[in-house]
């Protein structure tokens, strides 16, 4: 067991696109748990697009990470020392332990993971926050129905890959948009999309035309993960009574492309004339739906009806670059960092 605590802190706030200079690795002695606490070693660390927002000191749904503080993250970890009666040495747990090799916790917000159910890394992906987001967005927010046409952006990512598969199982016509031929081939072959459009190969006008051709009867549901030119290409195709589940807008997180974005009056007009329902949602308002999500999707993952893919960066030091790559589409599936050995392999 390493006797050092290693953590990555926010060194400075980015101006626009972040760089590795915005992060700093720090190390120190391993802390000892006090009464009521346990010490865990991190095995899997989840990198997620929302972390870009935490780097800015601006008003949002959650507080920013302070300069010098450990970057926030959900992790799967193993309890290695405990003075908390609810957690024993060897327990596998999930919690907000941050970009860190180890964490002390009093158990608040920590959930035990059963390694017998699925690989423990899935608690951060298809059976974790991204999967929960996909399921809530599709079912509760978009109220997607059999026979409808849906467009899913970031179609092969942690959220999108589950949206596409669940939509197909509902009997929808499913169109994905992803970056690159390899991702699109995976979407069509493995994720059951009817069609996937490569936004790298299509400019805004061509993407709009391709979506209109792929959805001759129009689009009923847009599962919005990216904003940017994909959103602008889908808007003109929306049907009367269509729904947009506004989950994310990663293309705009670092401020790129804002100046030449589609003018607000055109978007507003389409919402009015097509009587669209556009609903933003943040998954932490929907924790009450976690048990129903796990009950529905857990068996599908176990028996292979739902597939998932992970992008793994090796070692805590690799986290900053892997995060920067995620913001640019460098991940292919759920982006994880393997911080320590996974006892389940």
Total residues binding ligand NDP (CB under 6 A)? 31
Interaction of residue 282 with ligand NDP, rule CB under 6 A: yes
Give phi and psi for 6, each to the nearest 5: -120, 135
CB of 16 to ligand NDP, least distance (A): 13
Interaction of residue 283 with ligand NDP, rule CB under 6 A: yes
Question: From the DSSP assignment, how many helices (H) and strands (E) are in the chain?
Answer: 9, 15
Interaction of residue 309 with ligand NDP, rule CB under 6 A: no
Please, what is the Cα angle at 328 between 218 and 232, to 5 degrees? 25
* DSSP category for residue 2: -
* DSSP category for residue 263: P
- For ligand NDP, the binding residue among 22, 122, 165, 225 (CB under 6 A) is 225
CB of 81 to ligand NDP, least distance (A): 32
- For ligand NDP, the binding residue among 70, 149, 165, 331 (CB under 6 A) is 331
Please, what is the Cα angle at 298 between 295 and 304, to 5 degrees? 140
Residue list 239-268, contact with ligand NDP (CB under 6 A): 247-251
Interaction of residue 226 with ligand NDP, rule CB under 6 A: yes
> Taking contact as CB under 6 A, which single stretch among the options 85-93, 116-124, 158-166, 231-239 is the one that binds ligand NDP?
158-166
Residue list 50-69, contact with ligand NDP (CB under 6 A): 50
Is the backbone of residue 265 left (phi > 0), alpha (psi -120 to 50) or beta?
alpha
Q: Angle, to 10 degrees, between the axis of helix 290-302 and the axis of helix 129-136?
A: 110
CA dihedral 46→51→54→60, nearest 10 degrees, is -110
Interaction of residue 164 with ligand NDP, rule CB under 6 A: no
User: Interface with ligand NDP by CB under 6 A: which residues?
Assistant: 48-50, 130, 133, 154, 156-160, 178-179, 183, 199, 225-226, 228, 230, 247-251, 281-283, 326, 328-329, 331
């Amino acid at each position: 067991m390493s006797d050092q605590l290693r953590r990555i802190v926010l060194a400075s706030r980015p101006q626009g696109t972040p760089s590795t200079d915005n992060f700093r690795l720090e190390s120190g002695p391993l802390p000892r748990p006090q009464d009521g606490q346990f010490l865990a070693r991190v095995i899997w660390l989840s990198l997620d697009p929302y972390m870009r927002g935490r780097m800015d000191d601006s008003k949002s749904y959650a507080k920013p990470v302070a300069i010098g503080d450990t970057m926030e993250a959900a992790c799967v970890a193993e309890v290695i020392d405990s003075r908390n009666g609810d957690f024993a040495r060897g327990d596998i747990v999930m919690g907000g332990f941050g970009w860190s090799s180890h964490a002390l916790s009093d158990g608040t917000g920590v959930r035990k993971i059963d390694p017998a159910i699925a690989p423990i890394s899935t608690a951060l992906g298809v059976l974790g926050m991204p999967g929960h987001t996909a399921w809530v967005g599709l079912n509760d927010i978009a109220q997607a129905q059999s026979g409808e046409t849906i467009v899913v952006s970031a179609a092969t990512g942690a959220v999108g890959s589950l949206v596409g598969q669940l939509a197909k199982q509902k009997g929808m016509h499913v169109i994905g948009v992803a970056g690159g031929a390899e991702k699109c081939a995976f979407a069509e072959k493995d994720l059951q999309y009817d069609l996937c459009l490569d936004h790298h190969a299509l400019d805004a006008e061509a993407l709009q035309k391709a979506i209109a051709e792929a959805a001759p009867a129009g689009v009923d549901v847009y599962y919005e993960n990216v904003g940017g030119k994909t959103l602008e290409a889908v808007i003109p195709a929306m049907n009367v009574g269509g729904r947009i589940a506004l989950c994310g807008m990663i293309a705009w997180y670092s401020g790129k492309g804002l100046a030449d974005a589609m003018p607000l009056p055109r978007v507003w007009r389409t919402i009015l004339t097509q009587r669209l329902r556009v609903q933003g949602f943040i998954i932490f308002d929907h924790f009450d739906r976690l048990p129903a999500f796990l009950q529905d999707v857990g068996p599908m993952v176990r028996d292979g009806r739902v597939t998932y893919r992970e992008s793994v960066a090796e070692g805590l030091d690799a986290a900053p670059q892997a995060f920067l790559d995620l913001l640019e589409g460098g991940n292919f599936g759920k982006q994880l960092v393997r911080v320590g050995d996974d006892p389940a392999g």
